[in-house]
Structure 1
Amino acid sequence: MIPPWSGPENVARTSYSRLLPILASRSSDIATSEDALSYAFSKALTRWTVEGIPDNPDAWLIRVARNRMINGQRRDAKLAPKDAMPFAIPKDGTLAPRLSSVTEAIYGAYALDWLETSDDLRIEALFLADVLSTQLPTNAKALGLAALLGFTAAHREARISEGMFVPLDEQDPRKWNERLVRGAQALLQRASSLKKMGRFQLEAAIQAVHALRIDGHDMD
């Protein structure tokens, strides 16, 4: 729920740093992503002032900005392709502190969309976690995050029943997404083999115990 004192300008301003990496992750074109996000902000300031701020403003902004990019309504093409700024994994000692910020941002993006009907941020977060674990196949933090989000996403169809939240240990495992569960189990196994336990990996390990129910195991 958005606090009543948070005006459209303030909400849009605080969303910028979270949303730009999500938009730019697929196109590797920061300039175009900035233009699309600016367009979304301009639309938000116009519509939110009249209609009110939506419950999930980040998802609204992502959807409008992505549509802007998909529909080809891009910025003035003054920037040559060679000038685009692609994302790349740092080769120096700055990876560790940067990775902490990136993983927390991805986790936060998923959490923002956790109980929303829109899947925009959730899908982007899953995509980014997958990219990160693929690019960093021997990094326990990246693998742990991808495993955690995989387990959590697998439970999506089972966590709400008749409008009420269903605790994980009471969910019907037949409603879980088995493909996501198996993928998360494999990612967690790889993370565990690296012997570097972290928060995401620990949370994923707890989810993995519950996931045994998909194979018919009872939980004590």
Structure 2
Amino acid sequence: MSAAERVFREEWGRVLATLVGFLGDFDLAEEAAQEAFAIAADRWPRDGVPDNPRAWLMRTARNRATDRIRRDRALVARYDLLAARPEVRSMRDERLELIFTCCHPALAAEAQVALTLRTLGGLTTDEIARAFLVPERTMAQRIVRAKRKIKAAGIPFRVPPDHLLGERLDAVLAVVYLIFNEGYGGRDELAAEAIWLGRALAELMPDSPEVHGLLAMMLLNDSRREARFDDGELVLLADQDRSRWNSAQIAAGRAALDRAIALGGRGPHVLQAAIASLHAETPCDWAEIAALYRELARLTGSPVVRLNLAIAVAETDGPEAGLRIVEDLGLDDFRYLHSTRGELLRRLGRTDEALNAYLRARELTDDGAERRFLERRLTELRRAAPWR
């Protein structure tokens, strides 16, 4: 990554957040920011990156916005407001305000994700559409509708008051978590965007244990990225080459977890980070992992968490104990329930039932690497039961 590209990556959200704060208009702010970055992309390779690139970008964007407003006499009041602002303001609150605006509960979840990636992440509409496997036009419509909703509903560009902060922070963290999960299956660019957003949140909210917990969880899980696939084929945790794990990322994740715990964190993201940290140890302390999953299940009431608990229990008390939990979950349309059930049945030697479970998992799976893994399991089981 060149110096100019690094500046673009680091400064897009800061510059856009400040412009949205100045103008109160997403479209005008985004247009001015895009023009400033385009001018920089043309000039900086020739003239060099300025000593203060953020100030250069802000000054250029302000000038472009001023020119646009001057051309539109209906926005003369906004021009007066802009002209009265100081040229450089603190970026801290503005980025925080922007992500809380993007994740306002009045917006649909998919719109929150798209708008967050577009504004703070700096991804193009086409990049976001490809990452979520939808047509570019569909994604563009989502983003446009989200911006219109913000304007029509008068959603304020500010951090919510203290009594709403916890509720709204939960929405922000849920969006970042969703982005990371979308990337964890192999779309590395999305996982990287989520981690970048997590770092930005940790910088903006240094005293929030759940923010640090989420960042820790993402770093620890993403540290295994290079080992999770071998020539495009999925590799389970137990079979991964640990020499391919990113030790620096594990250390950074554990440092973020330590910070979360020091802040008194015992929330869902902190617990998930603690579980991810234990997974990075050799050997895994499955009893402690099971205990953490029990606490996480108590906090969230999530059947998916209980499915993960079943996997840990199977490691400590045997597959029969894990299977008893799985059979009580009722997640019939969740592919991982069936693949987990198939694995536990396979370990118990109940081959016919395992085959049926893996077939159901394959039926529910679109991901190519996961389907190929399930096919390998089915082939192994059929060899063990040639009458099938």
Which bin holds the TM-score, normalised by the shorter protein?
Answer: 0.5 to 0.7
**Cα distance in 2, alignment partners of residues 86 and 26 from structure 1:** 21
Deviates more, 1:201-210 or 1:142-151: 201-210
Which residue pairs with 1:115 in the alignment? 185
Residue 57 to residue 188, structure 1, CA distance change in 2 (3 Å)? same
**Cα distance in 2, alignment partners of residues 56 and 18 from structure 1:** 10
Which residue pairs with 2:242 in the alignment? 173
Shift of 1:56: 3.4
**Cα distance in 2, alignment partners of residues 174 and 89 from structure 1:** 43
| Residues 147-185 of structure 1: CA deviation (Å, up to 9, x unaligned) | 000001101001123443222233222101111111000
Query: Is the 1:144–1:201 contact (alpha carbons within 8 Å) kept by the matching residues of 2?
Result: yes
Which residue pairs with 1:146 in the alignment? 215
Query: Is the 2:109–2:175 contact (alpha carbons within 8 Å) kept by the matching residues of 1?
Result: no
Q: Does 1:201 pair with 2:250?
A: no
Query: What secondary structure does 2:259 align onto?
Result: helix
Letter in 1 for 2:272: E
Match of 2:133 among 57, 70, 81: 57
| Residues 27-74 of structure 1: CA deviation (Å, up to 9, x unaligned) | 7xxxxx9xx64xx59xx7xxxxxxxxx68326x85xx98xxxxxxxxx
**Cα distance in 2, alignment partners of residues 14 and 143 from structure 1:** 22
> What's the C-alpha RMSD, in Å, of the aligned pairs?
3.2
Identical amino acids, percent of aligned pairs: 29
Shift of 1:87: 6.8
After TM superposition, list the pairs within 5 Å mapping 1:1-220 onto structure 2: 15-25=110-120, 37=125, 40=126, 56-57=132-133, 89-90=159-160, 92-116=162-186, 118-213=187-282, 218-219=283-284
Query: What secondary structure does 1:197 align onto?
Result: coil
Gaps of 5+ in 2: 1-107, 141-154, 286-388
Residue 192 to residue 55, structure 1, CA distance change in 2 (3 Å)? closer
Letter in 1 for 2:119: A
Query: Is the 1:210–1:219 contact (alpha carbons within 8 Å) kept by the matching residues of 2?
Result: yes
**Cα distance in 1, alignment partners of residues 205 and 213 from structure 2:** 11
| Residues 100-149 of structure 1: CA deviation (Å, up to 9, x unaligned) | 00111111011112223x43321111111111112111111101100000
Higher relative contact order (CA 8 A, sep 6+): 1
TM, length-normalised to structure 1: 0.62
Structure with the largest fraction of helix: 2
Letter in 2 for 1:184: G
Residue 94 to residue 115, structure 1, CA distance change in 2 (3 Å)? same
Gaps of 5+ in 1: 1-12, 28-32, 45-53, 66-84
Query: What secondary structure does 1:93 align onto?
Result: helix
**Cα distance in 2, alignment partners of residues 158 and 18 from structure 1:** 28
**Cα distance in 1, alignment partners of residues 260 and 132 from structure 2:** 32
**Cα distance in 2, alignment partners of residues 106 and 144 from structure 1:** 12
TM, length-normalised to structure 2: 0.37
Shift of 1:199: 1.4
Residue 212 to residue 94, structure 1, CA distance change in 2 (3 Å)? same
Which residue pairs with 2:363 in the alignment? none
Letter in 2 for 1:142: V
